[in-house]
């Protein structure tokens, strides 16, 4: 595919050719290529606004429409990338403009009528944010749905293990309860992505021009409707510099990755021999170039690393905006690059997490054995005392003393401890859970780890995930 049209969209005002190295420094083409399908769509909408506003004759409109349809096909089949690189364009917008002028030389000269790269970029980035937010929501829902399915299996099997706080043994829980907590994180991530997609579909900047609108009668409502926006933006100066949706997209990606990273951290620890609660499939593990015995959970560690990178990118994107006045400034090119790169990497990392977590297999026997250690039913004994009228402070102190005695004797809490507690509290003989499963089933509150509460929570979460995005 040959290049016959200069890719620059400016130059008449200048008496010298641009410095090649500085032009290359200012180019964002490689990072922008991901925007190509959205930029073509943006140009198609602009042609619609020109046509419905009576700005261009129908023959020019038809020629532009035909050329843009051809470029859309080239973007789809991948051939446009080679053209854009060969053209040496500043950005993808200039490359598409140049290609249209190649395909329709006379009509192509009118494609940019009444349009600035400022409103073009702002609109294209919104289309990208909407699309990738929808992708992110789909990934998050896929992860949540798969985890819920695993939770139901674990619930049927009744797998028990120990919840920790401060990484210390805390209370007995069902594995299904832990998996339900994982799923809740990704249900929230899906809703965040949904809100980004909705916000990115509200106001369309196209037709805002460089900063103040246009003297040409552009049919802005037509282009906004063509692109699926609720309507045109209300203030040109604001619209061309607004990057809220792009930042919100990166925020949603970062939050989803942080959720994944926390699960990765816990899973990595559970895979260590010290815990032995889980094992990652060979297909999702790597080995050591030196130590033959090693099985490393690299995908989980890489997702954890991607979360850190996304957080840094989000901070960088926010910082790139903080000192800018209203309107467009070239700094916003860097904002765009940060968002595009971090979003693409982040969404790939979420897909990798989905695959890696599916390859994580739990060891119910090891979990159940550890659930009888660490005096994790102590809270149940205190609750039993409280239910018999003992104050919370006194119950806490009495059970704490019982734990200290049992620990000194290197044994678990037992019925002798219950008898002593009854005597110290001046109660008749009372009962309390002394094993993990009894503790779990003794829970009475909604949202707890009891079998009934977990089943109800999973049903409710599935219903939430089934709701269409608002």
Angle between helices 58-77 and 92-103 (to 10 degrees): 120
pLDDT at residue 417, as a whole number: 95
pLDDT at residue 5, as a whole number: 60
Report the top-level CATH class of 373-466: mainly alpha
Candidate list 166, 283, 289, 408, residue with the active-site label = 166
Q: How many Å apart are CA 115 and CA 273, to the nearest integer?
A: 63
DSSP 468: P
Handedness of CA 150, 155, 156, 159 (dihedral sign): positive
Give the pLDDT band (50/70/90) at residue 170.
very high
pLDDT at 13 over 80: no
pLDDT at residue 4, as a whole number: 65
User: What's the pLDDT tens digit per position in 352-395?
Assistant: 999 999 999 999 999 999 999 999 999 999 999 999 999 999 99
Q: How many Å apart are CA 282 and CA 317, to the nearest integer?
A: 38
Q: How many Å apart are CA 307 and CA 262, to the nearest integer?
A: 10
User: Any idea which residue has 């995908």 for tokens?
Assistant: 299
Mean pLDDT for the chain overall: 94
Which CATH entry fits the domain spanning 20-113: 1.10.275.10, 1.10.490.10, 3.90.1170.50, 3.10.20.30?
Answer: 1.10.275.10
pLDDT at 18 over 90: no
Which tokens is 429 given? Answer: 């003989």
Number of CB atoms found within 10 A of residue 273's CB: 5
Give the pLDDT band (50/70/90) at residue 3.
low
Domain segments of the chain as ranges: 20-113, 118-363, 373-466
Q: How far, CA to CA in Å, does 399 sit from each of 133, 139, 373, 386?
A: 51, 46, 16, 11
User: Is 28 noted as a catalytic residue in this protein?
Assistant: no
pLDDT at residue 88, as a whole number: 81
Give the residue-averaged pLDDT of 252-270: 98
User: Any idea which residue has 């798969």 for tokens?
Assistant: 146
User: What's the pLDDT tens digit per position in 145-166?
Assistant: 999 999 999 999 999 999 999 9
Candidate list 79, 288, 391, 446, residue with the active-site label = 288
User: Is 288 noted as a catalytic residue in this protein?
Assistant: yes
pLDDT at 339 over 70: yes
pTM to 2 decimal places: 0.94
Architecture in CATH of 118-363? Up-down Bundle (1.20)
User: What's the pLDDT tens digit per position in 348-360?
Assistant: 999 999 999 999 9
Ordered DSSP codes for 357-405: HHTEEE-HHHHHHHTTSTTTTHHHHHHHHHHTT--HHHHHHHHHHHHHH
């Amino acid at each position: 595919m040959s290049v016959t049209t200069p890719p620059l969209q400016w130059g008449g005002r200048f008496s010298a050719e641009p410095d090649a190295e500085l032009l290359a420094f200012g180019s964002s083409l490689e990072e922008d290529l991901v925007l190509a399908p959205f930029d073509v769509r943006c140009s198609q909408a602009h042609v619609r606004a020109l046509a419905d506003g009576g700005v261009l004759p129908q023959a020019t409109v038809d020629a532009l429409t035909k050329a843009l349809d051809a470029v859309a096909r080239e973007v789809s089949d991948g051939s446009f990338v080679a053209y854009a690189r060969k053209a040496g364009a500043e950005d993808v917008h200039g490359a598409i403009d140049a290609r249209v002028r190649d395909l329709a030389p006379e009509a192509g000269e009118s494609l940019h009528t009444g349009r600035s790269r400022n409103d073009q970029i702002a609109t294209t980035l919104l289309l990208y944010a909407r699309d990738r937010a929808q992708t992110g929501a789909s990934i998050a829902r896929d992860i949540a749905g798969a985890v819920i399915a695993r939770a139901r299996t674990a619930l049927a099997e009744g797998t028990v293990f120990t919840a920790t706080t401060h990484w210390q043994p805390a209370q007995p829980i069902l594995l299904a309860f832990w998996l339900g907590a994982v799923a809740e994180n990704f249900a929230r991530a899906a809703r965040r992505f949904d809100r980004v997609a909705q916000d990115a579909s509200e106001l369309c900047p196209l037709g805002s021009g460089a900063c103040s609108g246009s003297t040409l009668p552009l049919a802005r409502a037509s282009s906004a409707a063509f692109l699926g926006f609720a309507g045109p933006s209300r203030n040109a100066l604001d619209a061309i510099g607004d990057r809220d949706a792009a930042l919100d997209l990166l925020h949603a990606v970062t939050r989803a990755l942080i959720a994944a990273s926390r699960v990765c951290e816990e899973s990595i620890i559970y895979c260590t021999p010290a815990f032995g609660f889980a094992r990652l499939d060979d297909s999702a593990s790597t080995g050591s170039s030196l130590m033959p015995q090693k099985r490393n959970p690299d995908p989980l560690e890489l997702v954890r690393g991607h979360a850190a990178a996304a957080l840094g990118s989000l901070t960088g994107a926010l910082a790139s905006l903080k000192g800018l006045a209203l309107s467009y400034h070239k700094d916003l090119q860097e904002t765009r690059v940060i968002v595009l790169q971090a979003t693409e990497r982040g969404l790939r990392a979420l897909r990798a997490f989905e695959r890696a977590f599916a390859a994580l297999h739990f060891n119910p026997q090891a979990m159940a054995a550890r659930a009888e250690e660490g005096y994790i039913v102590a809270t149940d004994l205190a609750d039993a005392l409280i239910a018999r009228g003992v104050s919370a402070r006194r119950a806490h102190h009495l059970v704490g003393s019982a734990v200290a005695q049992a620990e000194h004797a290197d044994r678990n809490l037992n019925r002798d401890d219950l008898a002593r507690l009854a005597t110290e509290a001046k109660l008749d003989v009372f009962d309390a859970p002394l094993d993990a499963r009894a503790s779990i089933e003794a829970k009475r509150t909604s949202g707890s780890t009891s079998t009934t509460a977990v089943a109800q929570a999973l049903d409710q979460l599935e219903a939430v995930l089934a709701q269409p995005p608002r």
